[in-house]
């Protein structure tokens, strides 16, 4: 069986004796995105860094911090790659509980740090940690472990679906208290997607999907600031100095960029016109400076990562490794959905939401969580290849 699978997946790429130990293409695409992010964060943050007292008016303030975050994230990724998937599975429930504890801790007055009306961060003196970013990775691991353990009951509402629903409602309540609606959407998609991929009854899935849509609509209608964001997204030019301010300037940036951009460093919108230019709206700066070509390259890179994640997951299924398969596909779902939301927000296809572009935007916890996730994905692929060659892992 091992030789057959090995021949299917590797003979068309390299001879068996020269087959790579891991997916080198996936790794280099991720490194490329990190490199692009480093350059573009610097470009987008120069003006705000020079004007800020926090940075000491140093133009390289955000560049140095982002470079430090990238280094820490890469080190964390290397460490995560060393951990076998069986240990990740054993630790999954405990990591999930730890993540829930951090989400609760961030709501404690004096512990959680509030920025722009949201209390999502825990101060560690020299850096801040955002628990919701770590929770995305923990949700992938927990949902994959739960689905693998409950595989025989996935068609049952009471024994298969209901326990996970209760757990996710608790996590959703904690996230909405911050509030962090974007992280709630991503984590909900991760959990539901993994349950569906693990064999959840399609009728349950359809019912849950309808329930989630109704819930999201209700959350929007009962929250004035969310409703204003939706209204502003539908017609940003109607209130371009109010609710539509961010989106209108993002669209101006896209328009100025045209096909090949105005040139690296030449963006006008980053000069205090476009808020969060180095975080949530970094793609708009990329569009302005590198044009349609730059944005298309970013989208292609994410499409490659997601495709590889699902192919690695499929290979694990063929090897009857169901937990690793669900982890790989869950990571693909997470990165794909978050990238789609960020791209949709920047292009005016979705309402404004506080989600960064994975591997590219400024943000330490997000970089660490995403690099660890990709390292786990590479570990799944490495173990697949070892098993296909007849080795044990």
Please say if the pLDDT value at position 226 is more than 70: no
Q: To 5 degrees, how large is the angle CA 165–CA 170–CA 176?
A: 115
Paired tokens of 319: 């090897």
Please state, in angstroms and rounded to a whole number, the distance separating the CA atoms of residues 327 and 132.
18
What average pLDDT does the chain have?
87
The mean per-residue pLDDT over the stretch 49-63 comes to 83
Percent of the chain at pLDDT > 70 equals 91
* Cβ within 8 Å of residue 295, ≥6 positions away: 257, 283, 286, 287
Please state, in angstroms and rounded to a whole number, the distance separating the CA atoms of residues 164 and 93.
12
Establish whether the linkage from the previous residue to 68 is cis, with ω within 30° of 0. Answer: no
More confident residue, 64 or 51: 64
pLDDT at 13: 40
Q: Which of 385, 235, 364 is nearest to 315 (CA)?
A: 385
**What 8-state DSSP symbol labels residue 299?**
H
Residue that is written with structure tokens 């173990």 in the block:
383
Please state, in angstroms and rounded to a whole number, the distance separating the CA atoms of residues 142 and 2.
28
Paired tokens of 8: 């299917």
Please say if the pLDDT value at position 3 is more than 50: no
pLDDT digits (tens, 9 = 90+) for 150-196: 887 777 777 877 888 889 889 989 998 888 888 999 999 999 899 88
CA-atom Rg of the chain in angstroms: 21
Please state, in angstroms and rounded to a whole number, the distance separating the CA atoms of residues 161 and 39.
44
Q: Where are the alpha helices (DSSP H) in 269-363?
A: 282-318, 322-347
pLDDT digits (tens, 9 = 90+) for 136-147: 999 999 999 999
Percent of the chain at pLDDT > 90 equals 58
Please state, in angstroms and rounded to a whole number, the distance separating the CA atoms of residues 225 and 228.
5
Please say if the pLDDT value at position 4 is more than 60: no
Q: Are 172 and 190 in contact (CB under 8 A)?
A: no
More confident residue, 65 or 123: 65
pLDDT at 11: 39
Instruction: Using DSSP bridges, classify how beta strands 118-123 and 112-115 pair: parallel, antiparallel or unpaired.
Output: antiparallel
More confident residue, 215 or 181: 181
Please state, in angstroms and rounded to a whole number, the distance separating the CA atoms of residues 18 and 14.
6
Please say if the pLDDT value at position 14 is more than 80: no
pLDDT digits (tens, 9 = 90+) for 100-124: 999 999 999 888 888 777 888 898 8
SS (H, E, C) 156-206: CHHHHHHHHHHHHHHHHHHHHHCCCHHHHHHHHHHHHHHHHHCCCCHHHHH
User: How many angstroms from the chain centroid is the CA of residue 63?
Assistant: 21
Q: Are 277 and 246 in contact (CB under 8 A)?
A: no
Please say if the pLDDT value at position 317 is more than 50: yes
Instruction: Using DSSP bridges, classify how beta strands 128-129 and 112-115 pair: parallel, antiparallel or unpaired.
Output: unpaired
More confident residue, 171 or 16: 171
């Amino acid at each position: 069986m091992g030789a057959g699978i090995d021949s299917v997946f590797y003979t068309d790429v390299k001879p068996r004796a020269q087959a790579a130990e891991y997916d080198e293409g996936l790794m280099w695409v991720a490194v490329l995105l990190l490199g692009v992010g480093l350059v573009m964060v610097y470009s987008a943050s120069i003006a705000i860094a020079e004007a800020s007292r926090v940075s000491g008016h140093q133009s390289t303030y955000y560049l140095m911090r982002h470079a430090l975050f990238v280094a820490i994230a890469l080190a964390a990724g290397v460490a995560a790659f060393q951990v076998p998937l069986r240990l990740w599975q054993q630790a999954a429930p405990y990591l999930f509980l730890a993540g829930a504890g951090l989400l609760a801790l961030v709501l404690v007055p004096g512990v959680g740090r509030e920025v722009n009306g949201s209390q999502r961060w825990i101060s560690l003196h020299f850096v801040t940690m955002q628990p919701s970013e770590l929770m995305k990775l923990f949700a992938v691991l927990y949902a994959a472990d739960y689905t693998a353990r409950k595989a025989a009951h996935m068609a049952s509402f009471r024994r298969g679906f209901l326990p996970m629903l209760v757990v996710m409602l608790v996590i959703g309540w904690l996230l909405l208290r911050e509030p962090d609606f974007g992280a709630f959407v991503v984590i909900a998609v991760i959990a539901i997607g993994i349950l569906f991929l693990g064999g959840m009854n399609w009728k349950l899935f359809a019912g849950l999907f309808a329930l989630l849509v109704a819930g999201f609509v209700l959350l929007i209608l009962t929250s004035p600031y969310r409703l204003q964001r939706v209204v502003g997204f539908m017609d940003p030019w109607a209130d371009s100095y109010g609710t539509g301010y961010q989106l209108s300037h993002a669209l101006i940036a896209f328009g100025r960029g045209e096909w090949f951009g105005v040139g690296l460093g030449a963006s006008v919108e980053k000069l205090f016109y476009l808020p969060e230019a180095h975080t949530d709206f970094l793609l708009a700066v990329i569009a302005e400076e590198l044009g349609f070509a730059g944005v298309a390259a970013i989208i292609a890179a994410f499409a490659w990562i997601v495709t590889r994640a699902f192919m690695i997951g499929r290979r694990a299924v063929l090897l009857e490794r169901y937990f690793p398969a669900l982890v790989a596909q869950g990571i693909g779902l997470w990165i794909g959905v978050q990238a789609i939301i960020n791209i949709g927000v920047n292009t005016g296809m979705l309402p404004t939401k506080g989600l960064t572009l994975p591997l590219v935007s400024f943000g330490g916890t997000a970089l660490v969580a995403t690099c660890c996730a990709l390292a786990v994905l590479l570990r799944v692929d490495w173990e697949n290849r070892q098993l296909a060659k007849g080795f044990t892992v």
